[in-house]
Chains A and B, each alone.
Chain A
């Protein structure tokens, strides 16, 4: 099975003190973020017509080219920053967008710890929104019960979907990367179909937008004029529970044993097949919760399409080094970037998509610690890069 698999978060070296080890842990992600912002800045400069014009006349007026470039990058990044934390509303938006990222990131991170690569968070999020949304707009219940039921339904939807991938992996050895990609598209088409049925469409409408989740099933907001809601508390709770499972419970111990060496786990008497199914189901359930917080907290109706959160989650898990606390802060960073990007686009006309580029660069630098070490000539503790391809296509 996964004899090659190692988890992303190698235990920090025991000789260093706690503060030192935390700083050491942070070195690669911080340098990765810095490098990604620098490269992202280059992309901003070389797609800005004014900058390009100035650079074309570099030999006549080098200072102008440099100052133009500096202005373009600093304007974009400061708008990004202000859009993320610059006001009450900005902070609310950041927390709102952070919520599903935390949960989906935890999903990918938990699977990582078990040596499984859950690339299918997108499909699980879809199933989560379907289940949670269905409960949310079909039933008529008192508020606290209704929200709770809808959230649980979201968890179950995601857990079933990923559990299927886990079951296929455990019984037939089908690699979860392929099965979860396929399940993503199956979930997408399934949702497309549901959005043609009367079960999901509001009466008299035919365009593929579902009924609205009723007020009693929405996650309560903290303030009338802000979008931030109880979803963020749910996300924090999930972080603590996942941390507890991984650090303090037998299940967590077994899951990590599976991730470090599946053969050893089997010889030690663990039921690896059940563990694989269980780990995938929990991971899927977390992604399903992400879907629930989207439909119950952000947009109260379901539309088609693969949610981009599914792929952002991979970036979040890698940047957070599969540690629940790390995932939370990575999600906060990405949530902030996404909230700020909208502000940046309207203020400086730098397209929001630069954030996707920066995210890709961050994962690249985090996944290749040797690259970071080579650039900055530091001796950072990069940890082992994980291997997920051991059972590819078998």
Chain B
């Protein structure tokens, strides 16, 4: 037992690899039961909380109107719901989920958790808009656009970490790509050139991360920190030095939304999902594609084996270093896409430190989503919702300060990481340099 990866993989007290004795099976069963019960209690508590806060908190007789079409003129279509009744109904539904979970348990608890979170968000909206009207479509549109860089950044993290390399440099890779993308697009006068070079920029920084952490076995967190600081320094340095003197290098413009014929005219879903720019469509393609490749292809099996048990992978002839290099660089390309969105898909120019912590939020979304693309997408949508809420709620009056709404995703992540909501488990060899031989 001299190789660290072997000891840790086997000695993980929380996830025994193969419980052989009946006592071990009982222990695992006990833990699973306890977790299932905690989940049930949390659903129940959320349900009661919704009833108490948002149901009883809405004065009876008021109703909430949600605009369901884009623009929101006088001809737009409104969905009007009684505030108290709706919030109460949602509360009862969540509490019922809790009851069922406690009584017999759901087979797919993840979906139920997603449902409870979504219902909770909706109940909050119903309560916040009582007696007023509010464009639901605009809100959902903003949610999707705000979540795109987070979701794509989380995909970058998943690719790296599934292969066993911790990546806290998503932030730096995104920032660097946003810069390269904006400058390249402005210089070439072509957004596609900017996008390609932005992606390449993210991949280049990732290659440095791979080189430092795989070849030189620098601690992966230090290597990531170096890249974050470096990216912040070099982009600010060039932006203040070069872009100030040549402002024409920082006018890239943005990718316009491309409505998909037919689908974009579906009410609600159309404007939210099918009238977006290329980045959003790529996000919707890449998430299922990455899920399928990771869990259904030979490539994915190799990546995961290298991340879970590199020694075993090495023994069967997989080149651990090469698989890790490739995954990290592909992850960097993904982070590059996420970063390019900020300059080319959203603002149309580069600004100093324009990622503003989104790379770290992507990291949180990855952990929240338990290193699964769809889970991370869900988490990113939740973060995007909180961001969108902050911009939209300024219009309607709520007693909750927007700062606390912005704080909420971080608090939830803290709770998830602490295991109060559900244990997330990293790939077993995540963060451990592999020494061949």
Contact = CB atoms under 8 A, between A and B. Distances in A.
Q: Give the dominant DSSP class at A's interface.
A: helix
Interface string A159-187: 00000000010011111011101110110
7 residue pairs, one from A and one from B, having the closest CB atoms: A389-B431, A356-B233, A393-B426, A360-B230, A193-B403, A353-B237, A357-B233
9 contacts: A168-B414, A178-B363, A179-B414, A185-B407, A186-B410, A196-B403, A358-B233, A385-B218, A393-B424
B218 A368 contact: yes
Interface in B387-413: 401, 403-404, 406-407, 410-411, 413
Contact of B8 (A177, A182, A311, A390): A390
B418 A311 contact: no
A189 interface: yes
Contacts of A311: 225, 228-229
Nearest to A350: B241
A47 B240 CA distance: 11
A4 B218 CA distance: 14
Which of A43, A318, A355, A364 has most chain B Cβ within 10 Å?
A364
Nearest to A173: B419
Contact of A393 (B217, B234, B417): B417
Contact of B237 (A3, A4, A47): A47
Interface residues of A, number: 59
A49 B242 CA distance: 9
A192 B405 CA distance: 12
A340 to B, nearest CB: 15
A359 B234 CA distance: 11
Nearest to B361: A185
B212 to A, nearest CB: 6
Interface in B161-202: 166, 168
A389 B220 contact: yes
Interface string A311-323: 1001100100000
B223 A367 contact: yes
A353 to B, nearest CB: 4
A196 B4 CA distance: 51
Contacts of A174: 414, 417-419
B364 interface: yes
B75 interface: no
Given A177-B168, A351-B236, A193 B225 contact: no
Which of B8, B216, B361 has most chain A Cβ within 10 Å?
B216
Contacts of A363: 222, 225-226, 229
Interface residues of B, number: 60
Contacts of B234: 43, 353, 357
A22 B217 CA distance: 25
Nearest to B420: A172
Nearest to A192: B403
A360 B242 contact: no
B158 to A, nearest CB: 12
B240 to A, nearest CB: 4
Interface of B: 4, 7-8, 11-12, 14, 166, 168, 212, 216-223, 225-230, 232-234, 236-238, 240-242, 245, 357, 360-361, 363-364, 367, 371, 401, 403-404, 406-407, 410-411, 413-414, 417-420, 424-426, 430-433
B225 A393 contact: no
A200 to B, nearest CB: 13
Contacts of B216: 368, 370-371
A239 B424 CA distance: 39
Nearest to B230: A360
Given A178-B367, A371-B216, A385 B360 contact: no
A392 B417 contact: no
A134 B65 CA distance: 43
A380 B64 CA distance: 70
Contacts of B236: 351, 353, 356
B225 A119 contact: yes
A186 B432 contact: no
Contacts of A368: 212, 216, 218
Given A185-B357, A189-B406, A193-B404, A4 B8 contact: yes
Which of B357, B361, B430, B431 has most chain A Cβ within 10 Å?
B431
A152 to B, nearest CB: 27
Interface string A30-58: 00000000000001000101000000000
Nearest to B14: A394
A329 interface: no
Nearest to B246: A49
A270 interface: no
Contacts of A371: 212, 216
Nearest to A178: B417
B338 to A, nearest CB: 17
A177 B4 CA distance: 21
Contacts of A24: none
A243 interface: no
Contact of A360 (B8, B229, B411): B229
A387 B431 contact: yes
A386 interface: yes
B410 A47 contact: no
A390 B431 contact: yes
A106 B407 CA distance: 28
